[in-house]
Structure 1
Amino acid sequence: MRAFESENLILSQLADPELLDLERILEPLLLPRDFELVHLGTPVSHYYFLENGIASMVATSPEGRKAEIGVLGRDGMSPPALTMHREQFSFDVMMQVGGHGRRVEAGALECFLADRPAVRRLLSRFLHTFFVQVANTALSNAVHKIDVRLAKWILMCHDRLEGEEIEITHEYMATMLGVRRSSVTDALHVLEGQHLIYSTRGVVIIRNRASLEAFAADAYNVPGISGRDWPQTRRRPLVMYN
């Protein structure tokens, strides 16, 4: 029997002895919206394995403007780094949709990984997949309209959550996409007009997943972004790293 069952896809792939050893240094905790996993310019003190909820990696300009550059959920580890040498982290990572998970102190994880190359390779594959996502997000920001980018972003959140509802405000979406709130409102109206989603105060509800994917097209349907080619995990696909 396994040490514990986890919704996190990295933890779920560990062999029983590895999972049992890691369980001893993992701390379960709630992760409410706006909880900071790591702050810009500070060292990484803990690594988080989300089991529900969504974290955003956010870049900040010298003038203080912010934009999301990556989405993290139960598919990986937050923050997406493996330095563990107390260097300052270059981005904010915070919960944009509240949830829960487990965390481990950075030094304890470093010791755990020291003689476990298979686990380190698993984390390295996750990091590669995550930075493919970051690169595709940068491309999408340059070549796609806001309504397409929003559709892609909603799909990526949907992949990492249970149910059809995403609790998120227009203001938060504007910050994550690096656009004005009015632009998000206009884009939501486009998606609602095509009956792809329903948007109300603080909540976006998926109405037609397949049509939303078709609308997002090549912004979403690329390796490292799309769930279409990922093996099934419960209701929806999420990327696996083995």
Structure 2
Amino acid sequence: MPTPVPAAANRLIEALPHKDRRRLLAGFELVELTFADVLAEPGERIRHVFFPTTSYISLITPIDGCASLEVGLVGDEGMLGISLILGVDISPLSALVQGAGLALRMDAAPFRRELAFSPALQGLLKRYLHVVMGQLAQSAACARFHVVEARLARCLLMTQDRAQSNAFHGTHEFLASMLGVRRVGVTKAATALQKRNLIGYSRGNIRILDRGGLEAASCGCYEADNATYARGMA
């Protein structure tokens, strides 16, 4: 059963003026998201919006029906269902829970009513949509031009930020699917990061040992993503 909402723990909601934030929170329920739950599928109607608090969600695009690529990651800095700000209630991407935890959830219909009622919410989410568009473009360029080891380092840094912990779960099979490469490619990249004592890896459990070293091993897309968010949400 959903539990009562105690407070906002999502950066988008916390950025709202007090009156708008209080009204919006009254319409949410706090739900537990389970690892590997599918929250949206491409071409399907958006039934709920999610504002993660302690969970995080992979945004995935299918390729030729037999492969997939992660193009985004949503944690407490963002939301799932942003296309509703454009009046579009069809999901463009698949959304898969990568990190179990809590999220604020609201049905799509009352959320659209909140959008119509609150100019502050509209303005905030328009800026966030702009950020998402920039990050999607960055992910496309990253997948095309950067080597697997640097992309894996970026992926692990992004995950650590949203997990709010140095330790989290991620099997080689799952990481390979997210990066759009073969499992052997992820294994080779992860082993290289381990040999440099940047990460520890055992039975699907990943631990960040050297955050600064991992940032140095990552491509510039990690910094670019953070800069895009900082500029867009300032």
Q: Same fold (TM over 0.5)?
A: yes
Aligned equivalent of 2:46, options 25, 44, 47 = 44
Q: CA RMSD in A?
A: 2.0
Secondary structure, aligned partner of 2:44: coil
Deviations 1:185-241 (A, max 9, x none): 11000111111111111111001111111111423221x3469x95xxxxxxxx882
State yes or no: 1:66 paired with 2:58: no
Whether 2:28 is the aligned partner of 1:26: answer yes
Shifted more, 135-144 versus 55-64: the winner is 55-64
For residues 166 and 56 of structure 2, the distance between their equivalents in structure 1, rounded to whole angstroms, comes to 14
Please state if 1:16 is matched with 2:18. Answer: yes
Kept after mapping to 2: 8 A contact 1:44/1:84: no
1: distance between equivalents of 2:227 and 2:155?
Answer: 11
Distance 1:212 1:42 in 2: 37
Alignment-derived partner of residue 102 in structure 2: 100
- Counterpart-to-counterpart distance in 2, 1:85 and 1:113: 10
Would you tell me which structure has more helix in proportion to its own residues? Answer: 2
SS in 2 for 1:60: strand
CA gap of 1:240–1:134, structure 2 versus 1, over 3 A, is closer
Answer whether contact 1:27 1:104 (CA < 8 A) is retained: yes
Q: Which residue, 177, 189, 195 being the options, matches 2:179?
A: 177
Specify which of 48, 54, 57 is matched with residue 55 of structure 1.
57
What is aligned with 1:131? 133
> How far is 1:29 from its partner?
0.3
Paired with 2:227 and 2:198, the residues of 1 have a C-alpha distance of 17
Out of 181, 196, 199, which is 1:197 matched to?
Answer: 199
Q: Do 1:97 and 1:168's aligned partners in 2 also have CA atoms closer than 8 Å?
A: no
Partner residue of 1:112?
A: 114
| % same residue | 28
Q: TM-score of the superposition, structure 2-length normalised?
A: 0.91
Amino acid at match of 2:62: T
Report if the CA contact (8 A) 1:52-1:99 is conserved.
Answer: yes
Judge conservation of contact 2:127–2:233 (CA < 8 Å) in 1: yes
Q: State whether residues 37 and 48 of structure 1, in contact with CA within 8 Å, keep that contact through their aligned partners in structure 2.
A: no
Q: Which runs of 5+ in 1 are unaligned?
A: 231-238
- Contact kept? 1:84, 1:106, Cα under 8 Å: no
Of 199, 208, 214, the residue aligned with 2:210 is: 208
* Larger CA deviation: 107-116 vs 42-51: 107-116
User: Residue 236 of structure 1 aligns with which residue?
Assistant: none
Shift of 1:62: 2.7
Question: In the aligned structure 2, how far is the partner of 1:28 from the partner of 1:125?
Answer: 25
1:159 and 1:123, CA in 2 relative to 1: closer, same or farther beyond 3 A?
same
